[in-house]
Amino acid sequence: MPPQLPSQNQKGPRVLQGEPGALSPDLKEFVDANVRLCQPDFLHICDGSDEENQAILTQLEEQGMIKKLSKYENCWLARTDPRDVARVESKTVIVTRDQRDTVPTPLEGGVSQLGRWMSPEEFDKAMDQRFPGCMKGRTMYVIPFSMGPVGSPLSKIGVELTDSPYVVASMRVMTRMGKAVLSALGTGKFVRCLHSVGCPLPLKKPLVNSWPCNPEQTLIAHIPDRRQIVSFGSGYGGNSLLGKKCFALRIASRIAKEEGWLAEHMLILGVTNPAGEKKYMAAAFPSACGKTNLAMLCPTLPGWKVECVGDDIAWMKFDDQGNLRAINPENGFFGVAPGTSVETNPNAMETIAKNTIFTNVAETSDGGVFWEGMDQSLPEGVTITSWKNQPWTSEDGEPSAHPNSRFCTPAGQCPIIDPLWESPEGVPIEAIIFGGRRPQGVPLVYEAFSWQHGVFVGAAMRSESTAAAEHKGKVIMHDPFAMRPFFGYNFGHYLSHWLSMADHPGAKLPKIFHVNWFRKSPTAGFLWPGFGDNIRVLDWMFRRVSGEADGVPSVVGYLPSPDSMDLRGLQKDVDLNELFSLDQEFWQSEVEEVRRYFTTQVNQDLPEEVAEELEFLQQRVKRM
């Protein structure tokens, strides 16, 4: 590819690949308008081919943005500017005319924790300050991509315009992209995605780690009424791979509300019992709760099999028979590296051994990768270079890999990928699991009494999280449906939408469960071994869905009866009484905290049915 030199050409960009004239009228108009706005020197319409991918990776290597990892097959390491390492919630907004379309009005004018709103006028001003001329000297890449299998009735198409070849390489992993998508699009509708790193050439100041970004001006905006996403100033995946959280959750949740389906922050797995019966489940967990580990579970119970459909996002829609069918709209895994090991997730470790882009992990001197929790001893003489590109040893007092360092890897490489993971009609979901990291008070597993109660359980989700620097230690944060950073519209209306699923004609509603792998004893650490032993919980759920396992009504929902969980072969003694104990004082304070959150954050938009479930819980707790 030609070197990217400052523009001398005022007649528009030089076309490096593709035929702009062959694009549909709407797509050509979208490209032309943004070429005029951003003023790139070159235009490249992506075809998704192996040859194009190789050329992009070579270009990134020549520019110093990525480095080949000689220990593995076609694996690469990117180190970002240390100011551009994660999603930036404070600069991620939804643009609507009415603020209440985006977030409920908090009680007494407080700050909403359920999203950030920007007015159309503010957004127009922000665009004018950032985008004119922002791609000068660079190539604008046109990436047609499909969220979901190309041609599936559950899939949606987007087109991302970007000046980042790192985004092109990553979108090829995370989505289906290229010629086949353009053909499937025809003259149809698409979500309009515009991204720029915000560093026109020539540069005004030198790059850090050869990584272009403009953190002072970072903005990630969603305009649902226009089916549009605009991102500026960040090259980090969560802010720049616009098919991911931006489209697949924020914009898709709004589309889903209008069209009568669900776009959720959920893994999807297939569970097969020793008799060969199979059921699919979807699960929503906040970060650091073992989501990818569950999606790629290695069961400790003999004869059980778990297969992965997706590890992060589920789009779910009722079919004509009333089954809730789900697709994974993504094509890859964008996983957090630290904590991933042969012990915790052998299937993930096998998946990432080839064709993977690593970002902000540490590098070993023999051409490999390293991070905290990898639990691999290095050969003698092998040294480590940190994500900051500095020599590193365990005595340094800071991690070698950034805590949010990532692997971007093709899902099809997962050794337990489900045979139906790309099925156009999706897989039938029979159980939905909510969960969080709760050291105290919350039992290992319980089943909601009803769909309405299950929606309340999702709305009341809380999880331990390392708080912001101004707090000490860890705090329990509200993260309803594990969607708190990803709602595309008012959370109260989102709850009403979930409740409305029960009104779908002939709906076979999945059972809803809540799990907590992380309950601790005051003296002995975690009460439950977790990881592969979580199959024992899935086994009980599986039999509950089939009507074959006992459940005992409790304050919070149905608990497993004392002999209904299969604990054969457990490597450590488990105190079931402590794991399932329910303390009245704990649950009284839980009721009050959830009530405070609903009152202050959801306020007038809280559906009556959810408020009713909170009252029912309070009454049950009083009777304990």
Residue 397's Cα: distance from chain center in Å?
A: 30
Number of H helices, E strands in the chain: 16, 34
Output the six-digit token pair for 426.
């999706």
Spatial separation of the C-alpha atoms in residues 506 and 372, rounded to whole Å: 49
At 352, list the tokens: 């990432």
| Helix%, strand%, coil% for the chain, nearest 5 | 30, 25, 45
Q: Is 289 marked active-site?
A: yes
With beta carbons less than 8 A apart as the criterion, state whether 536 and 353 touch: no
Start-to-end CA span in the chain (Å):
71
Q: How many CB atoms lie within 10 A of CB 3?
A: 8
The CA distance from 621 to 617, in Å, is 6
Q: How far apart are CA 285 and CA 444, in angstroms?
A: 14
| Catalytic pick among 38, 75, 246, 289 | 289
Cα–Cα distance for residue pair 145/124, rounded to 1 Å? 26
Residue pair 586/577 in contact (Cβ under 8 Å)? The answer is no
Torsion angle of the four alpha carbons 597, 600, 606, 612, in this order, in degrees rounded to the nearest 10: 60
CA–CA gap between residue 355 and residue 206 (Å, rounded): 30
- β-pair type (314-318, 262-264): antiparallel
Q: DSSP character for 389? A: S
Give whole-number Cα distances, 67 to 214, 239, 425, 460, in Å: 22, 22, 39, 44
CA–CA dist 326, 154 (Å, integer): 8
> Can you list the alpha helix ranges (DSSP code H) found in 284-395?
291-295, 346-351
* Entry field: residues in the chain: 624
Amino acid at 288: A
Burial class (CB in 10 A: 0-12, 13-18, 19+), 488: buried
Catalytic residues: 289
